[in-house]
Amino acid sequence: MKKISNSPEETLELGKSLGISLGAGDIILLFGDLGAGKTCFTQGICYGLELDKASYIRSPTFTLINEYQGKLPIYHIDLYRIETQEEIFSLGLEEILYNQGVTIIEWAEKLRSPKKPDKLILNIQDRLEINIKITSDSQREFTFNPVFSEPRSFPDFTLL
C-alpha cells in the first residue's frame, strides 16, 4: 500500500489518519533518510492520538525516548545516534514495547538483525513498517507494510 504526500501538511494529515486508528500495544516502525519526514509523520500520529497541539513533538535526538500522553501513552524513539545494537539493548526498550501504549520508532533500520534482515532485534514481532522515500523537494512516497502474525483490520487503509 503506497501513499503520496505533496507537503508537510499532507504528511501530518496522513499521520493523523493513522493515529486515529491505533490501539494499545501497537508498534510503528519508520524507515527513511534524514529529512524524509519521519518526525513530521510522528507529529501527525500524535494528533490522531489526541495529543494537544501545544505539545511540541521533535526528534528525541538527545533523549532518545520521548513520552507523551494522548488518549494512550505515546513513546517516540529515535535511533539516529545509536551506533551499535548493544546500545539498543541497553535502552531497555522491551518495557516500552510490551506496554499498553503506542510506540513509534524512527531509524528502524537499526533494528534489523544483521544476519536475517527480515528479523528484528528485541523480539519485535507484530508491527506496521512504514518506509518514507524522498521523491522530490516537497514530495514523499509512503509505503505501508503491516507485519502481523494473525490477520488484523489495522491499519484501515480505506481511512488513509
Ligand X SMILES: Nc1ncnc2c1ncn2[C@@H]1O[C@H](COP(=O)(O)OP(=O)(O)O)[C@@H](O)[C@H]1O
121 and 115 in contact (C-beta within 8 Å)? no
What are the cell numbers at 46?
500524535
Shorter beta-carbon distance to ligand X: residue 90 or 139 = 139
Does residue 140 belong to the site contacting Mg ion (CB under 5 A)? Answer: no
Q: Which stretch binds ligand X (CB under 6 A): 38-46, 48-56, 64-72, 120-128?
A: 38-46
Does residue 138 belong to the site contacting ligand X (CB under 6 A)? Answer: yes
Contact letters for ligand X, residues 108-137 (x by CB under 6 A): ------------------------------
Shorter beta-carbon distance to ligand X: residue 9 or 87 = 9
Shorter beta-carbon distance to ligand X: residue 3 or 127 = 3
Residue 158 CB neighbours (<10 A):
5
Q: Which stretch binds ligand X (CB under 6 A): 17-25, 30-38, 120-128, 142-150?
A: 30-38
Does residue 5 belong to the site contacting ligand X (CB under 6 A)? Answer: yes
As measured in angstroms, the least distance from the Cβ of 149 to ligand X is: 28
3-state secondary structure the chain: CEEEECCHHHHHHHHHHHHHCCCCCCEEEEECCCCCCHHHHHHHHHHHCCCCCCCCCCCCCCCCEEEEECCCEEEEEECCCCCCHHHHHHCCCHHHHCCCCEEEEECHHHHECCCCCCCEHHHCCCEEEEEEEECCCCCEEEEEEEECCCCCCCCCHHHC
Q: Which of ligand X, Mg ion, none does 40 bind, CB closer than 5 to 8 A by kind? A: ligand X
Residue ranges that bind Mg ion, judged by CB under 5 A: 38-39, 59, 106
Residue ranges that bind ligand X, judged by CB under 6 A: 5-8, 10-11, 32, 34-40, 59, 106, 138-140
